[in-house]
Amino acid sequence: MATILLKSPAELKIMRRAGRVVAGLLKLLEKEVRPGITTRHLDEAAEEYIRSSGTEPAFKGYYGYPACICTSVNEEVVHGIPGKRVLRDGDIIGVDVGVKLEGFFSDAARTFAVGDVDEESKRLMRVTREAMEAGIRRAVAGNRLGEISAAVQAHAEASGFSVVRQFVGHGIGRNLHEEPQVPNYGRPDQGPTLEIGMALAIEPMVNAGSHEVEILKDGWTVVTRDRRRSGHFEQTVFVGETKAEIVTE
């Protein structure tokens, strides 16, 4: 089994500071999301905020990724690249952001409505957020990692949606992606036992239709195979004694 790196109290303190920047950035971007703007506008606003906050963009240059944030619209699941695309009334957009501070990372995502969206999209966003919250409630010392995965899957599927299996949550700390992987499906008796000092990025990707996805020719953008819509929510959390600490709220 791959090594899971436990963080010291001093390291968790740095990640909390990074998490506050991420939370502030998502609040800013929520105000910027509206019909008529481009996804590039969101990326430019994000870069200015990240650098003015004394942090670095976590994603820019990561394995060659060309932007500071990921902007995934409608059927795009994750890793959509900001560009000339203009947001339209009725779209939904998943925005994934991360920052690096003093060698440590924090990472979070939200799905926002663009103007007035249909009822199914509203329900998809709500259920995805609730599935994430159900997983976070299981991020307690002594639980198995699979309890997080099973809670996410159960909530999403009970609402008639499906969870993406090809992409998962992850540990986070000195690296943006660390062990353990945090799937959004599975059995509660699986995976390592959670311990104090573990930092996890819990991030359900929930599809309105099938769980199957594919990657577009740009090598990054993941879309639903049936082209139905997808929601994405993510928080960086610390495993707690009785309750997880959400770092990016």
Q: In which domain, by residue range, is 149 found?
A: 9-246
Mean pLDDT of all residues belonging to the chain: 98
Beta bridge partners of 179: none
Percentage of residues in the chain having pLDDT higher than 70: 100
Q: What digits encode the pLDDT tens for the residues 11-34?
A: 999 999 999 999 999 999 999 999
9: preceding bond cis by omega (within 30 degrees): no
Asked, for residue 1, whether it belongs to a domain, the answer is no
Q: Is residue 4 situated within a structural domain?
A: no
Q: Is residue 223 part of a domain?
A: yes
Contact criterion met (CB below 8 Å) for 82 and 40 = yes
Segment 184-198 mean pLDDT = 97
Q: What's the pTM?
A: 0.97
Q: How many CA atoms lie within 13 A of 30 on its CB side?
A: 10
Q: What is the per-residue pLDDT for 104? A: 98
CATH number at residue 26: 3.90.230.10
* Domain assignment present for 229: yes
Closest CA to 248 of 238, 178, 81: 238
Question: 2 falls in which pLDDT band (50, 70, 90)?
Answer: confident
With contact defined as beta carbons under 8 Å apart, do 110 and 30 qualify? yes
Assigned token pair, 132: 């994430």
User: In angstroms, rounded to a whole number, what is the distance separating the alpha carbons of residues 204 and 149?
Assistant: 9
pLDDT of residue 174: 97
**pLDDT > 70? residue 243:** yes
Beta bridge partners of 106: 99
In a domain, residue 118? The reply is yes
2 is a domain residue: no
Model pLDDT for residues 127-164, shown as the tens digit of each residue:
999 999 999 999 999 999 999 999 999 999 999 999 99
pLDDT > 90? residue 4: yes
Q: Residue range 160-171: average pLDDT?
A: 98
Question: CA-to-CA distance for 56 and 69, rounded, in angstroms?
Answer: 12
Inside any domain, residue 69: yes
Strand partners, 112: 93
Query: Given this model, what pLDDT does residue 1 score?
Result: 63
Query: Each residue of 46-71: pLDDT tens digit?
Result: 999 999 999 999 999 999 999 999 99
Residue 3 lies in a domain: no
What's the CA angle centered on 10, arms 50 and 182, to 5 degrees? 70
How many domains does the chain contain in total?
Answer: 1
SS3 call for 105: strand
CA distance 95 to 109: 5
